[in-house]
Chains A and B, each alone.
Chain A
Amino acid sequence: MNEKANVQIAYSQSNSIFSAVQDLKAQFWECEISLLIVFASSFYDQSLLLRALQNSFPETEILGCSTAGEVISDHFLQGSIVAMAFNKQILDDFHIEVVENLSEEFDLIPALKGFENHFGFALDHIDHHAYVGLVLIDGMAMMEEKFMESLGDKTNLIFIGGSAGDDLKFQETFVYAKGNVYANASILAILKPQNGFDVLKTQSFFSSGKHLTPTKVDPTTRTVFEFDGKPAAQAYAEALGVKIADLPSLFMRHPLGLMADGEPFVRSPQKLSGEALTFYCRIVEGVSLTILNPLDIVEDTQKALATKMAEIGPVQGIIDFQCILRTLQLREEGQTDAYAQLFKGFPMIGFSTYGEAYLGHMNQTSTMLIFK
């Protein structure tokens, strides 16, 4: 697969970790892999998987996480492992750091110092055209907003990534790097791709023109009690012209968007909590949100990819951090294969996340890192 490419991809659906890793290895023609990124179903014991990967790729830095579904060029998968291998020709340099104890008072400074020591300059002065950050974070710690905000405060670099999953069990998720598997942690990697990079954020929604302003919230539980001074569920139902009881069936198709220059950062309702609404990400009081209307995910993603390809030219690889809610919708509509086929012809891997990272934490979005 992908002969002579600097970025190679592989996948395995074997139930046995040993067989799966051998399967992956057999698909890589390149022996000198400098970085291996792995996304694996929670079906696999992540510690055993990492150990097996390290044994098979002893000279390679490995990072990855558990997922809620996997995707690779032309295949939408469940219960599998997907991997992307980078050789030395595609990455001029990279460095990986781990931030632990997210739920406590986590400290970003040691990780930032680690990057500074490696690259030789502070991350608020880094060349953001040449370097890009990758972030994988525990999907159950509910610390994504605080973590991404803190990262954004202290750096001037694009960090893109997603929250680890556990196949919709919502019990525990894992991230891994530097030979260890972590919960309640985040993996940060800064890459310097030789031919540059780009990012694509697409969410397949457009503004309905209707707005709701949260006037009473609890950011720690991601709960909105009131929109525009009314009980949140009532205000949301009135804006959609439906009964409150009908709201849950409309959450996925009409989430809210925090609009930045016309582009939504999606905030997805999770459930009714009495008259309140609980979201999959934090809602900030006083900032107007827009009710969104859906577009066809496959068609819209195809357009977004085509526009980006026309802009940047040949692509060496793509990592797709795709919201589990988009995956569920694709499954419901029987569109998973059509989605995977959008990436036929170039190396791509991705996983179904519990939230996407790009400047902040968001939902129902695909954030993609594109290697030129």
Chain B
Amino acid sequence: MDLAGQIKLLLEQIILTKSFGDPILHKMTKVKLLIKGINVDDFDDESEDDPDMIRRLCDIAAEFGLNSCFFDQFKGSEMKK
């Protein structure tokens, strides 16, 4: 699996899934991530992929109770690395 740009993709999916697309919940989720130490705005399509960060985001998805195949595929790719 090509890991380029996947941190931003993963963050977008976490925020979308946690907030159900609601703009207020979207903002709240970004703050919750920031408080956990993840500044969403620090990542873009060019950001270097970091296996530790991917693992951390998969953990956060689990803490948020977001269990889906989408997040599982990242866990899988991380484990293979």
Question: Which positions in A face B, CB cutoff 8 Å?
Answer: 124, 128-129, 145, 149, 152-154, 156, 158, 258, 260-261, 265, 284-288, 359-360
Given the interface contacts A128-B24, A158-B28, A359-B28, does A258 sit within 8 Å of B65 by beta carbon?
A: no
- Contact status A286-B19, CB under 8 Å: no
Encoded as 1 (CB less than 8 Å from any A CB) or 0, chain B from 48 to 74 comes to 000000000000000111000000000
Given the interface contacts A128-B25, A156-B19, does A260 sit within 8 Å of B30 by beta carbon?
A: yes
Given the interface contacts A128-B25, A284-B36, A287-B37, does A153 sit within 8 Å of B64 by beta carbon?
A: yes
Q: Which chain A positions have C-beta within 8 A of B30?
A: 260-261
Residue among B18, B24, B37 with max Cβ neighbours from chain A (10 Å): B37
Given the interface contacts A124-B65, A153-B63, A153-B65, does A261 sit within 8 Å of B27 by beta carbon?
A: yes
Q: Which chain B positions have C-beta within 8 A of A145?
A: 35
B9: interface (CB < 8 Å): no
Question: Which positions in B face A, CB cutoff 8 Å?
Answer: 18-20, 22, 24-25, 27-28, 30-32, 34-37, 39, 63-65
- Contact status B25-A152, CB under 8 Å: no
Q: How far is the CA of A258 from the CA of B31 in the complex (A)?
A: 10
Q: Which chain A positions have C-beta within 8 A of B36?
A: 149, 284
Tell me which of A124, A156, A284 contacts B35 (CB under 8 A): A284
Give chain B nearest CB distance to A370 CB in angstroms: 16
Give chain B nearest CB distance to A282 CB in angstroms: 9
- Contact status B64-A260, CB under 8 Å: no
Q: Which residue of A lies closest to B18 (CB)?
A: A156
Give chain B nearest CB distance to A280 CB in angstroms: 15
Q: How far is the CA of A286 from the CA of B50 in the complex (A)?
A: 14
Give chain B nearest CB distance to A133 CB in angstroms: 12
Q: Which chain B positions have C-beta within 8 A of A128?
A: 22, 24-25
Give chain A nearest CB distance to B50 CB in angstroms: 12
Q: How far is the CA of A145 from the CA of B36 in the complex (A)?
A: 10
Q: How far is the CA of A261 from the CA of B39 in the complex (A)?
A: 10
Q: How far is the CA of A358 from the CA of B72 in the complex (A)?
A: 31
Q: Which residue of A lies closest to B30 (CB)?
A: A260
